[in-house]
Structure 1
Amino acid sequence: MTIQPNSIEGRDRAYHLHSYTNAKALERDGALAIERGEGIYVYDASGKRYIEGMAGLWSVAVGFGEQRLVEAARRQLETLPYYHTFSARTHGPAVDLAEKLIRMAPVPMSKAYFTNSGSEANDTAIKMIWYRSNALGKPEKKKIISRIKGYHGVTLASASLTGLPNNHRSFDLPLPGIFHTNCPHFRAFAQEGEDEAAFVARCAADLEALIEREGAETIAAFIGEPVMGAGGVIVPPAGYWQAIQAVLKKHDILLIADEVICGFGRTGEMFGTTTMGLEPDIITVSKQLSSSYQPISALLINDRVYQPIAEESGRIGTFGHGYTGSGHPVAAAVALENLAIIEERNLLGNVQALAPLFQSRFKALESHPLAIEARGIGLIGALELAPREGFATGQLGPKLAAVMQENGLFSRAIGDSLALCPPLIITEQQVGAMFDIFEASLDQFQAQLKVA
């Protein structure tokens, strides 16, 4: 397709540096311009319709074009379009949302702190933990343990937590004091003859060995997603989180649950923490909090975390941290309305009702000649392609994603895994249509490979 210089695609190519994009390839090929959205669908500038199988970026729970969220933003813009939460000032939407989140929390929490993205939330969690360690007179207790293939964001600190190579390469990351332990992907990382129970035991033993090697007195926290998202939709084996938490409790190490993808219904429970039996000290949320209609995220902290921070701020005279947009009134108002929709329309019930179909359609694709593994839970899943001679690891996934896009379905290629994470409003018929495209695209891609 020829890109006209004055078109949106042409001007995008001339002026816009994209996230998670090959900039040189974009110079050559340009970007796909999305013009509008409705329900589970989005439409490009030519009018072509796509099923948004990734809910944008794992996030648009209530679908596109939800007028109640538009009206919530409009009402708040007319009343108080902006105010901050610095210097002991507040406003109704921030208070209402903080109260709502603390009451919704899957385990007892004390306070909500607002940020603007999952990356900022996890970055702030690190700062809070360091601040707390100093307050407790343990200045050496600062190290954080994350996991290989974990995803926690892209700021300097949160990208260091992330356990994916392309978030570190050429950025001089990770920062010192961040460590990565085993990824709980049984098929990929189990040793020969190892069953799931033995694999779980080894993951816990390796974590404990890392703690003992570094010194438990130097390690402040462990962070993990209940179910890994951007690392490839990795559901840990039974007993994994119980084994990991036992090690953390033994060594007095805080647990941060990154619920940025799992939170607000994705796994079939309101929080992945409940699904996986976690007892975190900090929970970070974003994405489905506002269905990404507005940028907002939050940390929920328990009293064990809050009290030392409060004491230290009293000693210093302030908690010297914050963002201009923390608790933004418009974003908070939209988040409150979004949560109301999730509850009133019983979208959690919709996830529970459709998850068996969704997961069975994924599992059926596992028998395709190109596939090696299907995995998922609730309304999130991925199909991993088998290695193929002549293709380097990570080359097949994007090629299949391009075929799926041409056929009207947006997925996400995570290496050679193709992920789906549709809006929670999806219907049974739409689930069927989505997987019909997925299956047809696999067959079409297989035919292309044979020709090649």
Structure 2
Amino acid sequence: MTHQPNSIEARDIAYHLHSYTDQRKHEAQGPLVIERGEGIHVFDNSGKRYIEGMAGLWSVAVGFGEKRLVEAATAQMEKLPYYHTFTHKSHTPSIELAEKLIGMAPLPMSKVYFTNSGSEANDTAIKMIRYRSNALGKPEKKKIISRIKGYHGVTLASASLTGLPNNHRSFDLPMDGVLHTTCPHHRGFAKAGEDERAFSARCAEDLEALILSEGPDTIAAFFAEPVMGAGGVIVPPDGYWDAIQPILKKYDILFVADEVICGFGRTGNMFGTETYNLEPDMMTLSKQLSSSYMPISALMVNERVYAPIADESHRIGVFGHGYTGSGHPVAAAVALENLKIIEERDLVGNARALAPHFQARLKALESHDLAVEARGIGLIGALELKNPDPQAPVGALGGTVNAAMHQRGLISRNMGDAMAFCPPLIVTESQIDEIFDIAAAALDAVAGEKVAA
């Protein structure tokens, strides 16, 4: 008889394959099992409390344990637990959420298409872009440009957009037709003596050179986050978007703004598109759309994108694309209630009001012996570390500091050697102080251990 594991941790090791995890290390180390959440805190199965300094995965805007979202899900589950949006069918929650999002859009949008994750939204955008090019009689106009260190998801197509090596290694990615241009990280990629505006101009020159080398008639779209998230919370340098957007217009290239992390208040405005005066043709949304209480995402498209797609679907007789859970009624109902809470409690205003304090506390850590750069906007930021050991692999110091924060009751995330901070939008000033007090103590502890060693 096969021995059955007893503890929840052992059962996880026995049966569960994890995302973004060294699977063999996990077999030895095991999981942190989170049992419940309340406000900005989560609790593990031993009762230990942690500040969720990453809002889960950049996403729990209204905090954990929000009863209104539980009640919205319960009410919709009792009324209509599931229905689809295929073949001329619909239901009230998806209709109302689409209407709400079009009304919230920072610039005119025509239609909303619902998906289940940010990856799916970006993947669907790629399919729509291809479909549209064929509809316009431009079958050669299919290539897509994204950026080194950009993050757009993990499906075959969206992971190809993602400009991070570990999302490509051993997956045989990126796929053909996806190109990457310069990462807009000034400290990391600027030349000696190149200020931010000069660097931004060079980023634009690099983009235009790539377009010209490939052939403008072959480039369909440019994907970009207003602020890069998983690539290290990279804030665009001065003048960047003013330099980039005219090039896209010059060569008739669609602009897809990936608002999966930035959307619904994170940068101090409802959308990162507003923060940086962007003019996208398509916007992908997820995470804070439902505070991740339910899986849901959305792709908004303007009329320039929609009209050729509609015409092509009429010519063929169908738009042959869809997901079982697109616009799921329970997820849509939860998202609607979540957006009501964000608006009623002015959580975007809270992010804007607390941003100076959050960024000041983050900036203060930049002077630490283990730090090299603090960067951020609104209620999102990162502290990049420098390992005193030049031979140490990238991420070694970040992992050590992350563990020290965890031990002290703060959940962060190291992206290589950059420590990310992205608390729920309900965070208070005193809680921000607690977050960065813990971060400072963890840095001091790790620095002390290295000196002792």
TM-score, L = length of structure 1 = 0.99
Question: Matches of 2:147 and 2:385 in 1, distance apart?
Answer: 23
Shift of 1:387: 3.5
Partner of 1:172: 172
- Supply the AA of the counterpart residue of 2:326: S
Question: Matches of 1:370 and 1:239 in 2, distance apart?
Answer: 30
Question: Matches of 2:146 and 2:303 in 1, distance apart?
Answer: 23
1:414 is the counterpart of 2:422: no
Partner of 1:429: 430
Question: Matches of 1:127 and 1:44 in 2, distance apart?
Answer: 41
Question: Matches of 1:228 and 1:376 in 2, distance apart?
Answer: 10
Partner of 1:337: 337
Partner of 1:300: 300
Shift of 1:438: 0.6
Shift of 1:5: 3.0
Partner of 2:266: 266
Per-residue CA deviations over 1:6-28 (Å, capped at 9, x if unaligned) read: 11100000000000000000011
- Supply the AA of the counterpart residue of 2:405: M
- Supply the AA of the counterpart residue of 2:149: K
Per-residue CA deviations over 1:121-144 (Å, capped at 9, x if unaligned) read: 000000000000000000000000
Partner of 1:136: 136
Map 1:245-260 to 2 at 5 A: 245-260=245-260
SS of structure 2 residue aligned to 1:366: helix
Partner of 2:73: 73
Question: Matches of 1:291 and 1:239 in 2, distance apart?
Answer: 32
Per-residue CA deviations over 1:65-106 (Å, capped at 9, x if unaligned) read: 000000000000000000000000000000000000000001
Aligned-residue RMSD, C-alpha:
0.7
Per-residue CA deviations over 1:167-194 (Å, capped at 9, x if unaligned) read: 0000000000000000000001000111
Partner of 1:191: 191
- Supply the AA of the counterpart residue of 2:438: I
Partner of 1:446: 447
Partner of 1:210: 210
Per-residue CA deviations over 1:280-337 (Å, capped at 9, x if unaligned) read: 0000000000000000000000000000000000000000000000000000000000
Partner of 2:156: 156
1:200 is the counterpart of 2:181: no
Map 1:103-118 to 2 at 5 A: 103-118=103-118
Partner of 2:225: 225
Shift of 1:388: 2.2
Structure 2 unaligned spans of 5+: none
Partner of 1:19: 19
Partner of 2:405: 404
1:235 is the counterpart of 2:253: no
Question: Matches of 2:65 and 2:434 in 1, distance apart?
Answer: 21
- Supply the AA of the counterpart residue of 2:45: A
TM-score, L = length of structure 2 = 0.98
Partner of 2:388: 388
Partner of 2:43: 43
Question: Matches of 2:98 and 2:444 in 1, distance apart?
Answer: 48
Question: Matches of 1:144 and 1:6 in 2, distance apart?
Answer: 49
Shift of 1:238: 1.6
Question: Matches of 1:356 and 1:151 in 2, distance apart?
Answer: 26
Runs ≥4 residues deviating over 2 A = none
- Supply the AA of the counterpart residue of 1:155: T
Partner of 1:120: 120
SS of structure 2 residue aligned to 1:376: strand
1:346 is the counterpart of 2:346: yes
1:58 is the counterpart of 2:47: no
Shift of 1:198: 1.1
Shift of 1:236: 0.6
SS of structure 2 residue aligned to 1:375: strand
Question: Matches of 1:415 and 1:383 in 2, distance apart?
Answer: 11
Shift of 1:157: 0.1
Shift of 1:195: 1.1
Per-residue CA deviations over 1:32-86 (Å, capped at 9, x if unaligned) read: 1000000000000000000000000000000000000000000000000000000
- How many residues align? The count is 449
Question: Matches of 2:205 and 2:226 in 1, distance apart?
Answer: 19
The share of aligned pairs that are identical, in percent, is 73
Question: Matches of 1:35 and 1:275 in 2, distance apart?
Answer: 36
